[in-house]
Amino acid sequence: MAENLKQETVLVTAATGKTGRRVAQRLAARGVDVRAGSRKGEVLFDWEDESTWGPALRGADAAYVAYFPDLAAPGAPEAMRSFGRQAAGNGVRRLVLLSGRGEPEAVVAEGALRESGLDMTVVRASFFAQNFSEGAMSEGVLTGEIPFPAGETAEPFVDADDLADVMVAALTEDGHTGAVHELTGPRLLTFAEVAAEIGRATGREVRYVPVSVEAYTQMLQQYGLPAPDAQWLAGLFGTLLDGHNASLTDGVRQVLGRAPKDFADFARHTARSGVWNA
């Protein structure tokens, strides 16, 4: 598809996060004028402070929308509706939204953003492989035990680098308006199989420890998450990992023309980086 990079300015929300950081780097490498929005960066943008949205959007042609904490969270539809109004009012023409795969509540938030009437692309992603290297579960890898309420459910883990490549394509190429891209990795893995892959890559024992949603809620609270947030997040994981997402899509290939990266490749690359050195 033809690229559309003429004097484009793109606001990247949550630009220090797993996906925002990657999207911003890739856009900059293509010569796009990137406005990296974050709570502490040069371009102030905070999902919890609506007064920061307008100034960040002003003068932008497109925006990568990565809502925190999740599109399925309470209040997300209202936030998306307001963000869409402000984006349209500031002359933004294109939105690319990160959404969750198999999340009915997220679909409601997607609809709220569509009310803006702007050109919009939705990218629904499965669990990120990078949750084990950049997220809360990385500590479990370091200690050798990964507790999580997944049971024996298989998940098609997607690499955040693949996701970022898809996002950049949707932001810079024609032909994605109105599309909903569902992204997964190339195979289904249980969390026990993920732990085994990481163990092979690191050369040490890493095992998955299944826990209940209730137990995981308590763990999150012990890490400092307020009780309501811990209950919501643990409940979301329990819902997502009930088996309804245990299938593959060809979304990465459809957009990028290549196969998605396998989790084993991610594990080997991450092990070589030293991130998992205890």
CA-based nearest residue to 99, from 270, 245, 213: 245
Q: What is the pLDDT of residue 1?
A: 47
What average pLDDT does range 208-220 have in this prediction?
96
Is residue 223 predicted with pLDDT exceeding 90? Answer: no
Cα R_g (the chain), whole angstroms: 19
Q: List, for residues 43-85, the tens digit of each pLDDT value.
A: 999 999 999 999 999 999 999 999 999 999 999 999 999 999 9
Selected from 3.20.20.70, 3.40.50.2300, 3.40.50.300, 3.40.50.720, the CATH number assigned to the domain covering 9-127+158-184+247-260 reads 3.40.50.720
Is residue 7 predicted with pLDDT exceeding 70? Answer: no
Joined together, the tokens standing for residue 144 give: 């050798």
Q: Domain ranges for the chain, please list them.
A: 9-127+158-184+247-260
Joined together, the tokens standing for residue 183 give: 């992204």
User: Under a CB-based contact definition with an 8 Å cutoff, are residues 19 and 13 in contact?
Assistant: no
Alpha-carbon distances of 232 from 58, 69, 81, rounded to whole Å: 34, 11, 22
Model-level pTM? 0.95
pLDDT band at 178 (very low <50, low <70, confident <90, very high): very high
What average pLDDT does range 183-188 have in this prediction?
98
Q: What is the pLDDT of residue 77?
A: 98
Q: What is the dihedral of CA 128, 103, 184, 155, to 10 degrees?
A: 70
Rounded to whole angstroms, how far apart are CA atoms 75 and 94?
A: 23
Alpha-carbon distances of 26 from 3, 34, 172, 268, rounded to whole Å: 14, 10, 11, 23
Q: List, for residues 112-133, the tens digit of each pLDDT value.
A: 999 999 999 999 999 999 999 9
Longest pairwise C-alpha distance within the chain: 54
124 — phi, psi (to 5°)?
Answer: -100, 125
pLDDT band at 41 (very low <50, low <70, confident <90, very high): confident
Residue 207, C-beta contacts closer than 8 angstroms, at least 6 positions apart: 144, 145, 146, 192, 195, 199
Compute the residue count for the chain.
278
33-38 and 94-100 strand pairing: unpaired
Is residue 142 predicted with pLDDT exceeding 60? Answer: yes
Q: List, for residues 226-275, the tens digit of each pLDDT value.
A: 999 999 999 999 999 999 999 999 999 999 999 999 999 999 999 999 99
User: Who has greater pLDDT, 56 or 1?
Assistant: 56
What value does the mean pLDDT of the chain take? 95
